[in-house]
């Protein structure tokens, strides 16, 4: 009997090791895809909405400083600093940037000289952000305000939380892109997942509402009852990678990473990674096929890394001020005093004498890189892939659902080797009469 327990242990150990290796290679390949999509001004392109912001969060979720992501010399952080929303702007323009700034250890009240928190709060009215019929800007507004920590207005955060709670659909527990009673209103898995992240973050950071726990539970049940049979989630019916990535982040926020529902969600999401370039596939209506997309990839990576949109809360006391170069003027015409006695013969010096009146060279400050913002969004952020609402969602053909790319730079012990090693040890123990 003992030998069977040993054999079972070896098999389980190999399966766990294989799963960890597999997950690592998936994330690494996705991050490499994002690197490959960086252009000469530091921006991550080929995404449909805020790909640079979401990519910055994806890199930070894996311990990678965006200032190290360069092509060839301008970094992703350089682009984020220079890419200030143009006017007229929307609330979501500032919300996505605040999430990226805080996630990458920036100060949202002084990022490139701009106070992003005050700019966002300028959209606050009637206890909510921006358009009264858009619930999306309130969800991401609450996420951004919570991420900004003590630098955001506490009363604004509380009022927006109360507003959001009041907009939950009482019939199914979900949330929609629009508020109930407005045009195009319907609940969806992606917006419900975004709302869950905002509500959980608000609760963890001291905001309260008498119905908050119940609202979170109902929203969670909405996700559990709307999972597709393949394990994914869809906005239009069949599973899509964008919605599934958002749901996985919600499961992470709910501490459900080890749940069966979360495992099925991960498996389906991983199946949508391109074996050709490591990106995650999203359906392109213009091309009428699924192609790798930077925004989709970044959000999938955040979810597969066990994270959600809020990686940390900004603490102004933890910010180390950037040192500035301070040059103290040195007199240029004051001779260096000598100490030669009047009646003592002067000795020939053996070392180079110190100049007495030569001014020090003037330091020329290194010019600051100024980039022209070019990542202006042409659509309201959170409409994402949903501005035009088709009646059916195209189901990718088997040829469009590609497998998982194994990272060539992250080779680990293969599954078969672990199995044969375990069996070899077991056979030796039996032969020696240990068992």
CA-CA distance, 291 to 272, in Å (whole number)?
A: 10
- pLDDT greater than 60 at residue 392: no
Residue 150 in domain: yes
Residue 398 in domain: yes
Helix or strand (DSSP H, E) at 166: helix 154-166
CA-CA distance, 4 to 14, in Å (whole number)?
A: 15
Domain count, the chain: 1
Backbone angles phi, psi at 101, to 5 degrees: -60, -50
Q: Report the chain's mean pLDDT, rounded to a whole number.
A: 80
In this predicted structure, what is the pLDDT of residue 319?
75
Nearest to 255 by CA among 209, 308, 213, 219: 308
278 dihedral zone (left: phi>0; alpha: psi -120 to 50; beta): left
Looking at 254-405, list the stretches that DSSP marks H as alpha helix, in order from N- to C-terminal side.
260-270, 294-304
Residue 418 in domain: no
pLDDT digits (tens, 9 = 90+) for 238-257: 999 999 999 999 999 999 99
pLDDT digits (tens, 9 = 90+) for 9-60: 444 444 433 344 345 799 999 999 999 999 999 999 999 999 999 999 999 9
pLDDT category of residue 405 using cuts at 50, 70 and 90 = very low
- pLDDT greater than 70 at residue 132: yes
Residue 431 in domain: no
- pLDDT greater than 60 at residue 155: yes
In this predicted structure, what is the pLDDT of residue 23?
54
CA-CA distance, 88 to 197, in Å (whole number)?
A: 28
Query: In the structure encoding, which two tokens stand for residue 419, read together?
Result: 């199995």
Residue 259 or 419, more confident: 259
Residue 430 in domain: no
CATH of the domain at 155: 1.50.10.20
In this predicted structure, what is the pLDDT of residue 418?
54
Nearest to 232 by CA among 243, 218, 219: 243
Residue 296 in domain: yes
pLDDT digits (tens, 9 = 90+) for 215-224: 999 999 999 9
CA-CA distance, 33 to 254, in Å (whole number)?
A: 28
pLDDT category of residue 284 using cuts at 50, 70 and 90 = very high
Tell me the residue range of the domain where 141 lies.
Answer: 37-317+374-404
Predicted TM-score of the model (pTM): 0.72
CA-CA distance, 242 to 226, in Å (whole number)?
A: 15
**Cβ–Cβ < 8 Å for 269, 300:** yes
What's the angle, vertex CA 161, arms to CA 188 and CA 198, rounded to 5? 50
In this predicted structure, what is the pLDDT of residue 230?
97
Backbone angles phi, psi at 187, to 5 degrees: -80, 155
**Cβ–Cβ < 8 Å for 13, 418:** yes
pLDDT digits (tens, 9 = 90+) for 169-207: 999 999 999 999 998 899 999 999 999 999 999 999 999
- Classify burial at 299, counting beta carbons within 10 Å of its beta carbon; exposed 0-12, middle 13-18, buried 19 or more: buried
Within 10 angstroms of residue 86's Cβ, the number of other Cβ atoms is 11
Pair type for strands 187-188 and 280-284:
unpaired
pLDDT digits (tens, 9 = 90+) for 293-352: 999 999 999 999 999 999 999 999 987 554 443 444 444 444 444 444 444 444 444 444
CA-CA distance, 6 to 424, in Å (whole number)?
A: 12
In this predicted structure, what is the pLDDT of residue 236?
76
pLDDT category of residue 353 using cuts at 50, 70 and 90 = very low
Average pLDDT over residues 400-424: 44
- pLDDT greater than 80 at residue 233: yes
């Amino acid at each position: 009997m003992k030998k069977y327990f040993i054999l079972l242990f070896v098999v389980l150990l190999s399966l766990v090791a294989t799963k960890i290796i597999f997950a690592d290679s998936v994330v690494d390949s996705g991050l490499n895809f994002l690197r490959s999509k960086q252009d000469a001004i530091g921006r991550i392109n080929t995404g449909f909405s805020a790909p640079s912001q979401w990519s910055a969060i994806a890199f930070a979720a894996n311990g990678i400083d965006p200032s190290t992501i360069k092509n060839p010399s301008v970094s992703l952080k350089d682009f984020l600093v220079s890419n200030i929303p143009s006017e007229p702007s929307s609330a979501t323009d500032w919300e996505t940037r605040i999430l990226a700034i805080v996630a990458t250890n920036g100060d949202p009240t002084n990022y490139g000289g701009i106070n992003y928190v005050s700019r966002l709060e300028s959209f606050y009215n009637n206890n909510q952000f921006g358009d009264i019929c858009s619930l999306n800007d309130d969800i991401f507004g609450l996420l951004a305000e919570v991420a900004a920590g003590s630098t955001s207005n506490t009363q604004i955060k509380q009022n927006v939380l109360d507003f959001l709670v009041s907009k939950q659909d009482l019939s199914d527990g979900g949330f929609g892109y629009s508020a109930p009673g407005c045009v195009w209103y319907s609940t969806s898995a992606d917006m419900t997942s975004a709302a869950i992240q905002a509500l959980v973050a608000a609760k963890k950071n001291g905001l309260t509402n008498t119905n908050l726990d119940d609202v979170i539970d109902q929203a969670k049940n909405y996700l559990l009852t709307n999972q597709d049979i393949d394990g994914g989630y869809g906005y239009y019916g069949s599973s899509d990678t964008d919605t599934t990535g958002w749901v996985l982040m919600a499961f992470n926020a709910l501490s459900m990473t080890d749940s069966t529902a979360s495992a099925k969600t991960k498996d389906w999401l991983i199946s949508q990674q391109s074996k050709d370039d490591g990106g995650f596939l999203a359906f392109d209506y213009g091309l009428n096929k699924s192609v790798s997309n930077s925004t989709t990839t970044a959000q999938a990576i955040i979810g597969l890394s066990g994270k959600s949109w809020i990686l940390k809360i900004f603490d102004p006391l933890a910010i180390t001020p950037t040192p500035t170069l301070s040059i103290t003027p040195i007199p240029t015409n004051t001779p260096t005093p000598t100490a030669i006695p009047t009646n003592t013969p002067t000795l020939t010096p053996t070392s180079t004498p110190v100049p007495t009146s030569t001014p020090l060279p003037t330091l020329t400050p290194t010019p600051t890189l100024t980039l022209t913002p070019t990542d202006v969004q042409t659509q309201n952020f959170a409409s994402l892939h949903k501005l035009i609402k088709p009646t059916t969602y195209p189901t990718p053909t088997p040829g469009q659902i590609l497998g998982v790319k194994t990272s060539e730079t992250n080779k680990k012990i293969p599954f078969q080797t672990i199995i044969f090693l375990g069996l070899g040890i077991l056979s030796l123990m039996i032969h020696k009469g240990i068992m």
